[in-house]
Structure 1
């Protein structure tokens, strides 16, 4: 989720936080294990020291499984710690997972309403049995200067030269490449299967605004309507709200386009960058980016082997 306004700064006193997340005091007390091996708590402490912004008193950025004293064999960054990702990490001794999105099906990581659900408990048991420490790292990576997700997406797409303001890599300028070609280049760079597009395929692309992750109608309509935006790129949005508005705007004669990438692929580049960032201050263990597969397959096309 890219926009901090929509779903960040969640009370840490939630039922889930009380059961699975750990307090600042716990983390402050978590030092290197007696053997000298790195712990999950020490990794989080270093993230706090290096992220470049004060740690928010209310945040979803918490340790959700294992304990701060868990000894870390290796670290994975990922966009979403799906069960498939968690299993891959366990098989490769990456027992600390830094995930951008929730592993537990709700941004705030509350599980009280599904605490007896067999899928949830399978995942929790799997993590417990293999001592997997999952750290939700969302709010502060977006608050990083520049936004870590936006910066990573620009790098993955090769758009560094198109950034209007390096301090805000969400606005870009291009030389009039036709929309269809522009989207095809995105598809190839992201290895995407299900990008969806509104707009004339021949539309020349000049001014692009990005909102990686989710974008709602409240923020999306003013951005799409702005003369400064010809093409809006988002991860996902509601089809009966922003998508309908964009359809009507284009039908009314506005030469604009909307590109809906899909939530996972629209922020994954930021977690590629996160792996490199972590390596700048953690050297004791391997650090690798583990992709979260694009969730959907397309009717008429066979699903990819995972």
Structure 2
């Protein structure tokens, strides 16, 4: 055999062999890290990131690889367990993980339940990111967007005031029942005449103090809130009704008053995170009525 032909044949076979090996080798996938997810959130929320904020990484490290993301209203132990079971090792929560708005550890550092929750997070390799201030600060507010969509109130929203809504006239009782049905609320509380005609509604999701609760109430027939101090805004509304004002207050419960906002957050995250699954995990309403026990 011609030595030159043999050499060329050997070279060709070697090249084909290398090509085959290259073809069957799986392509390397770049790992998505917790820090990269946070950076994308900061970019896409499209407002300046505050120096003083509760929006921080509460558990885990920036370089942890992300296998899946759970968006939730509150990182309860139940939610964390469900996230771990589904392989979602990064939890993005709107409310605190460790029982205070700032997730301060000092008051509860020796508490056995805190330690159990902390240990669960560590043992299951979870990262928890608190996403509150900037989700509210987004334009439009992420929580409000999700709640308005879930309630079907988009067409009723005032173009100049995102908290104000106008509806065809109905009774307070019927309006409140419609909200409770749409959101599956077990323990909504209502102050006011059940037959009070309702047209103008102010909504302030989450916690609402006496101020701005008073000016909100002045603009509408009923003010809808997540929660408020009973010795402040609740007493004020009671006195307003006693004085002859045609007013009402609907108290939804804090969790259910913002939950749909984190459902929407999961959809928003999918717009710029495609490498891993992103799911919404609902935190269950904590209260139940004695005449309707939880099954």
TM-score (norm 1): 0.86
Matched, 1:296 2:295: no
**Offset, 1:39:** 0.9
Q: Segments of 4+ in structure 1 off by > 4 A?
A: none
Matched, 1:287 2:269: no
Pairing of 1:192-271 with structure 2 (within 5 A): 192-224=185-217, 226=218, 228-271=219-262
Over the residues paired in the alignment, what is the CA RMSD in angstroms?
A: 1.2
Q: Distance in 2 between matches of 1:263 and 1:232?
A: 14
Q: Is the 8 A contact 1:199 1:257 kept in 2?
A: yes
1:164 aligns to what SS in structure 2? coil
Q: Distance in 1 between matches of 2:271 and 2:206?
A: 26
Q: Which residue of 1 aligns with 2:50?
A: 56
Q: Which residue of 2 aligns with 1:43?
A: 37
Gaps spanning 5+ residues in structure 1: where? Answer: 1-33
Q: Which residue of 1 aligns with 2:81?
A: 87
Q: Deviations over 1:98-132 (max 9, x none)?
A: 10000110001111111010100100100001111
**Offset, 1:219:** 1.5
Pairing of 1:97-246 with structure 2 (within 5 A): 97-165=91-159, 168-224=161-217, 226=218, 228-246=219-237
Gaps spanning 5+ residues in structure 2: where? Answer: 1-27
Q: Deviations over 1:246-271 (max 9, x none)?
A: 01101111111100000000000110
Q: Distance in 1 between matches of 2:279 and 2:269?
A: 10
1:120 aligns to what SS in structure 2? helix
Pairing of 1:9-88 with structure 2 (within 5 A): 36-88=30-82
Number of residues paired by the alignment?
Answer: 268
Q: Deviations over 1:70-102 (max 9, x none)?
A: 111111111000000000000001111110000
Distance 1:168 1:72, change over 3 A: farther
Task: Return 77-86 or 202-211, whichever deviates more.
Answer: 202-211
1:277 aligns to what SS in structure 2? helix
Q: Which residue of 1 aligns with 2:22?
A: none
**Offset, 1:168:** 4.6
TM-score (norm 2): 0.89
Q: Which residue of 2 aligns with 1:13?
A: none
Distance 1:124 1:168, change over 3 A: farther
**Offset, 1:222:** 2.4
Q: Is the 8 A contact 1:147 1:168 kept in 2?
A: no
Q: Is the 8 A contact 1:151 1:169 kept in 2?
A: no
Distance 1:118 1:147, change over 3 A: same
1:97 aligns to what SS in structure 2? strand
Q: Deviations over 1:241-297 (max 9, x none)?
A: 110110110111111110000000000011011000000100011111100100011
2:269 aligns to what SS in structure 1? helix
